[in-house]
Amino acid sequence: NAGVMQNPRHLVRRRGQEARLRCSPMKGHSHVYWYRQLPEEGLKFMVYLQKENIIDESGMPKERFSAEFPKEGPSILRIQQVVRGDSAAYFCASSPTGGFRRNTEAFFGQGTRLTVV
Amino acid sequence: KQEVTQIPAALSVPEGENLVLNCSFTDSAIYNLQWFRQDPGKGLTSLLLIQSSQREQTSGRLNASLDKSSGRSTLYIAASQPGDSATYLCAVSPIDGGATNKLIFGTGTLLAVQP
């Protein structure tokens, strides 16, 4: 059973380009969370999705950022018109049930390191 | 608003020492608390998860305790080894009444174990 798979591992974009980050959850997991880790800061929650639904996007910047988790295929975090401040590590986590209730562990991917030049 | 703090921010110890990492949180309404390990440029590896009703969890040389009423958790590492060098993150799962629970992370403790 492969873990949470994220690709690409490293992504370089010029200012103004679009960045697309992919996350394939563990087999049997239908809940996906995206987190962002800015340099010298802790991980911050961005968005929680179930298949075809955004459940909680309270941590997403209001502009330029969007996320989806289609019925088929990986979850996608899309950043339009990237700026230098978007440079960070973006982590995806998955779980088999909603939230991280009680004894449900969080399984994280290796992350995508986005560098905006 | 839930806030998670980890002390110290960095720690350097000689190999073989026992050590304690601290985590504090401001709101005791949590489902659980997790300790993670993050290696440079890598993802997060879950080490231990303590449910809100539990006091501690153990895995090998690691022992994590939880005192929910005081908002504190400690991660005890016995007989440290150079391979333990990493950043250790503490995260809580808050009971916020919303449709989801998202983890609130501390900023981590960077541990270096000197051979």
Q: State the distance between the two ends of chain B, measured CA to CA, in whole angstroms.
A: 41
- Residue to substitute from B31, B89, B103, interface A, most A β-carbons within 10 A: B103
In 3D space, the residue among A43, A93, A36 whose CA is nearest the CA of residue B107 turns out to be A43
List CB contacts (< 8 A) between A33 and chain B.
Answer: 102-103
DSSP code at position A105: P
| pLDDT score for A5 | 95
Neighbours of A87 (CB within 10 A): 16
Q: What mean pLDDT comes out for the span B57-73?
A: 96
**CB neighbour burial string for A58-74, b if at least 16 within 10 angstroms, e if fewer:** ebbeeeebebebeeeeb
DSSP code at position A106: P
**Could you tell me if A63 and B106 are in contact, meaning their C-beta atoms sit under 8 angstroms apart?**
no
Strand ranges in A1-117 using DSSP code E only, listed in sequence order: 5-7, 10-13, 19-24, 31-37, 43-50, 53-56, 65-68, 75-79, 88-95, 107-108, 112-116
| pLDDT score for A102 | 56
Tell me whether strands A10-13 and A112-116 are parallel, antiparallel or unpaired.
parallel
Q: Does B101 have pLDDT greater than 80?
A: no
Helix (H) or strand (E) holding B91: strand B86-94
| pLDDT score for A28 | 85
Residue B13 touches partner A, C-beta closer than 8 Å? no
pLDDT confidence tier of residue B98, bands split at 50, 70 and 90 = low
**Tens-level pLDDT at each residue, chain A (117 residues):** 579 999 999 999 999 999 999 999 999 888 899 999 998 788 999 999 998 899 889 999 999 999 999 999 999 999 999 999 999 999 999 988 765 555 567 789 999 999 999
Instruction: Kindly report, residue by residue over A90-101, the tens digit of the pLDDT.
Output: 999 998 876 555
Q: Min CA distance, B48 vs chain A (Å)? A: 9
Instruction: Kindly report, residue by residue over B25-49, the tens digit of the pLDDT.
Output: 999 999 889 999 999 888 899 999 9
**Could you tell me if B36 and B44 are in contact, meaning their C-beta atoms sit under 8 angstroms apart?**
yes
Instruction: Kindly report, residue by residue over B81-92, the tens digit of the pLDDT.
Output: 999 999 999 999
**Could you tell me if A104 and A95 are in contact, meaning their C-beta atoms sit under 8 angstroms apart?**
yes
Helix (H) or strand (E) holding A101: none
| pLDDT score for A98 | 64
